């Protein structure tokens, strides 16, 4: 409860984070007391950003831009005096966190888009009006109408103009009625205009209830930039609610230890389109927000909820306790991604995927489900590879080192000895494919090294035995387009019809079927036809088995030798040649 007057000039002390909280977060599910501490940290983060916003506005904005912020602030202060818990709830709403980071970045010139800066700065007026409405105090304030709509966080959105209308409007609250001043100077009740409320959905299972907020209206609900209202139709909304209900049943039945943190986080579901393989996302700015495309199954929905909540939870801890030492956010290989991830992202992935591994492990153990076995084995192998790649490193703090130790122990506790052999084989292939494809796209051997190798090949000599590290050159090759991951996944999930109706490229079906002797010449033919066919190189190296040379080196050597000779190397022979080095 905010009640103390600060008169001292001593700095406000930092949050005191007990070791028990850190250990609990590292170990997985946390209790409501731990969540309360993490939420306190998030509230401090929001207030710190508000403080920074006010200071930034004072120093870097025009008088007109400053005015809405200066006018809104006393309203927020007054609302807090009437209803501090409501103001805290509004300030902790996920999209308010996204807005805060965005508006400060915009003032600082870090981001620049076509939304006028006064719209972003004016949103503090929207926050203040929302607080005044919910606290029941009478105020007059200015808030932005963006694309014809005025948005009041946690209250709703009101259509007060056409899609071209972007302006600053005055709003007045009187008793239980809120009025908006029209461009003609008339005061109209917001109750009389089309509106979109935030929808809440309650799921109940096993005597446990959960309230989800489904936010498809707030302009700051997406983490990337301002977005228009995209209201779900009633049918689509019902499908979401049904999936949430079914997911809640799974969570109550199989993952009851996660229920306290789910309830305390008050998750806000932000529906999104399934484009470019998008599954779900979370943001450090918006604790509790889960932006997701419609999961295919209730079990997938439950996984998504847990997965994204793990990111929020770790983000909340990282705001209090660093896992890395300063200046260590180097790009890393993350086995669940095709792009280089900063070390912080790798740590995040390790944490989330350990939780996901445990999720599928429990499901597999409880119902011997093939899909659960696959997802469990796949994620466990991904995290294993990430942990192996990272190893002990001085880049981590004591907390970071402890984090890795606990992650390893959690993974080791998931015994996968009975996963079907064909599922294990598919998992091994998937993890290998991702690593090779990542190397092709982001690593490059030094040019002079490739020249030496090609010269020796052309001279009929053995390859140089040098141990040359490739350079990280993110995205220096185009996307490795491959149908292999989807084929391997399908094969693991539906072994009776792994490629039904699926277009696959030459060699991939044979590789997935472990018919390696047939696969090799098919990949080699693709390479001869197009030496830039990086997925063919990945496939060939997978078909060549263990002891394979680095894909970026062998493919670069091939291209160099082919350019210097009328007869390009035979890809299979070239790969074998590297083994002589």
CA–CA gap between residue 181 and residue 169 (Å, rounded): 6
Which of 402, 435, 525, 528 is close enough to bind another protein by CB under 8 A?
Answer: 402
Write the Ramachandran bin of 503: left for phi over 0, alpha for psi from -120 to 50, otherwise beta.
Answer: beta
Please state the closest distance from residue 71 (CB atom) to another protein, in A. Answer: 15
Shortest reach from residue 563's CB to another protein, in Å: 32
Binding mask 500-529 for another protein (x = CB under 8 A): ------------------------------
530, with CB counted inside 10 A (0-12, 13-18, 19+), is exposed
Cα–Cα dist 463/557, whole Å = 11
Contact status: 567 vs another protein (CB under 8 A): no
Binders of another protein in range 422-441 (CB under 8 A): none
Q: Which stretch binds another protein (CB under 8 A): 117-125, 237-245, 304-312, 530-538?
A: 304-312
Residue 279, exposed/middle/buried by CB under 10 A (0-12, 13-18, 19+)? middle
CB closer to another protein, 159 vs 218 = 218
Residue 353 in contact with residue 407, Cβ under 8 Å?
A: no
Q: Cα 20 to chain center, whole Å?
A: 27
411 belongs to the binding site for another protein (CB under 8 A):
no
Residue 43 C-beta: closest distance to another protein, Å: 6
Task: Give start and end residues of each alpha helix (H) in 287-333.
Answer: 298-318
Buried b (16+ CB within 10 A) or exposed e, 37-66: bbbebbbebbeebbeebeebbeeebeeebb
Asked if 348 touches another protein (CB under 8 A), the answer is: yes
For 113, 168, 283, 333, 534, the CA distances from 438, given in Å and listed in that order, are: 32, 48, 24, 8, 11
Q: Which member of 148, 485, 521, 568 binds another protein (CB under 8 A)? A: 485
> CA-to-CA distance for 410 and 522, rounded, in angstroms?
42
Structure tokens at 537: 């190189």
Per-residue x/- track, 5-34, another protein (CB under 8 A): xx--xxxxxxxxxxx--xx-----------
Least distance in angstroms from the C-beta of 434 to another protein: 9
In DSSP terms, 573 is beta-bridged to none
Among 28, 34, 38, 41, binds another protein (CB under 8 A): 41
Nearer to another protein, 15 or 478 (CB): 15
Does 388 participate in binding another protein (rule CB under 8 A)?
no
Kindly tell me which of 145 and 426 has the beta carbon lying closer to another protein.
426
Nearer of residues 190 and 343 to another protein, judged by Cβ: 343
Which C-beta is closer to another protein: that of 17 or that of 468? 17
Give the per-residue contact string, 237-276, with another protein (x = CB under 8 A; - = no): ---------------------------------------x
Note whether 346 binds another protein by CB under 8 A: no
Residue 302 binds to another protein (criterion: CB under 8 A): no
Torsion, Cα of 454, 459, 465, 469 (10° steps): -10
Closest approach of another protein to the CB of residue 83, in Å: 12
Using CB under 8 A, pick the residue from 328, 401, 408, 428 that binds another protein.
401
Give CA–CA dist 205/223, Å, rounded: 31
The residue range among 206-214, 302-310, 371-379, 462-470 that interacts with another protein, by the rule CB under 8 A, is 302-310
Please, what is the minimum distance in Å from the beta carbon of residue 69 to another protein? 12
Using CB under 8 A as the binding rule, whether residue 195 contacts another protein is answered as: no
Residue pair 352/382 in contact by the 8 Å Cβ criterion: no
307 binds another protein (CB under 8 A): yes
Classify residue 337 by burial, with Cβ atoms within 10 Å: 0-12, 13-18, 19+: middle
Q: Which stretch binds another protein (CB under 8 A): 144-152, 197-205, 210-218, 396-404?
A: 396-404
Question: Shortest CA distance to 485 belongs to which of 532, 548, 438, 553?
Answer: 438
């Amino acid at each position: 409860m905010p009640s103390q007057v600060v008169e001292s000039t001593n700095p406000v002390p930092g949050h005191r984070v007990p070791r028990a909280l850190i250990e609990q977060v590292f170990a997985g599910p946390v209790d409501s007391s731990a969540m309360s501490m993490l939420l306190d940290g998030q509230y401090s983060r929001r207030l710190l950003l508000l403080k920074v916003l006010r200071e930034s506005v004072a120093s870097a904005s025009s008088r007109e831009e400053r005015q809405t912020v200066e006018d809104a602030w006393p309203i927020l202060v007054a609302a807090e005096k009437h209803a501090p818990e409501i103001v805290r709830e509004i300030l902790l709403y996920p999209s308010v966190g996204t807005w805060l980071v965005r508006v400060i970045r915009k003032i600082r010139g870090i981001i620049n888009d076509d939304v006028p800066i006064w719209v972003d700065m004016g949103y503090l007026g929207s926050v203040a009006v929302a607080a005044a409405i919910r606290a029941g105090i009478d105020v007059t304030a200015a808030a932005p109408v963006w694309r014809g709509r005025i948005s009041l966080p946690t209250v709703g959105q009101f259509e007060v103009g056409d899609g071209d209308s972007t302006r600053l409007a005055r709003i007045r609250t009187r008793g239980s009625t809120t009025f908006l001043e029209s461009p003609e100077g008339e005061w109209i009740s917001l109750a009389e205009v089309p509106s979109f409320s935030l929808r809440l959905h309650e799921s109940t299972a096993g005597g446990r209830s959960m309230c989800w907020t489904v936010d498809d209206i707030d302009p700051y609900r997406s983490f990337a930039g301002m977005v228009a209202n995209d209201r779900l139709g009633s049918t689509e909304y019902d499908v979401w609610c049904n999936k949430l209900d079914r997911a809640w049943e799974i969570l109550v039945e199989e993952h009851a230890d996660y229920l306290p943190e789910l309830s305390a986080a008050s998750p806000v579901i932000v529906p999104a389109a399934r484009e470019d393989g998008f599954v779900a996302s979370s943001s450090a700015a918006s604790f509790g927000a889960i932006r997701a495309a419609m999961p295919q199954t209730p079990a997938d929905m439950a996984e998504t909820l847990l997965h994204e909540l793990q990111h929020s939870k770790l983000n909340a801890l990282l705001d209090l306790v660093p896992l890395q030492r300063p200046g260590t956010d180097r790009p890393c290989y993350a086995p669940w991604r095709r792009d280089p991830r900063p070390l912080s992202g790798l740590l995040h992935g390790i944490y989330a995927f350990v939780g996901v591994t445990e999720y599928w492990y429990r499901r597999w153990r409880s119902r011997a489900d093939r899909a659960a076995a696959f997802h469990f084995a796949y994620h466990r192998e991904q995290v294993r590879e990430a942990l192996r790649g990272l190893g002990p490193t001085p880049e981590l703090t004591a907390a970071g080192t402890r984090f890795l130790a606990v992650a390893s122990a959690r993974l080791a506790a998931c015994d996968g000895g009975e996963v079907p052999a064909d599922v294990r084989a598919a998992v091994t292939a998937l993890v290998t494919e991702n690593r090779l494809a990542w190397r092709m796209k982001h690593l490059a051997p030094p040019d002079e090294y490739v020249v030496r190798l090609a010269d020796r090949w052309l001279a009929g000599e053995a390859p140089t035995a040098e141990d040359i590290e490739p350079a990280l050159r993110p995205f220096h090759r185009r996307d490795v387009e491959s149908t292999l991951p989807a084929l391997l996944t399908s094969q693991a999930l539906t072994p009776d019809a792994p490629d039904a109706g699926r277009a696959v490229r030459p060699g991939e079906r044979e590789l997935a079927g472990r018919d390696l002797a047939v696969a090799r010449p098919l990949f080699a033919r693709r390479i001869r036809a197009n030496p830039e066919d990086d997925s063919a190189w990945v496939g060939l190296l997978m078909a060549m088995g263990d002891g394979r040379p680095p894909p970026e080196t062998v493919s670069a050597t091939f291209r160099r030798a082919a350019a210097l000779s009328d007869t390009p190397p035979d890809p299979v022979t070239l790969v074998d040649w590297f083994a002589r080095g």
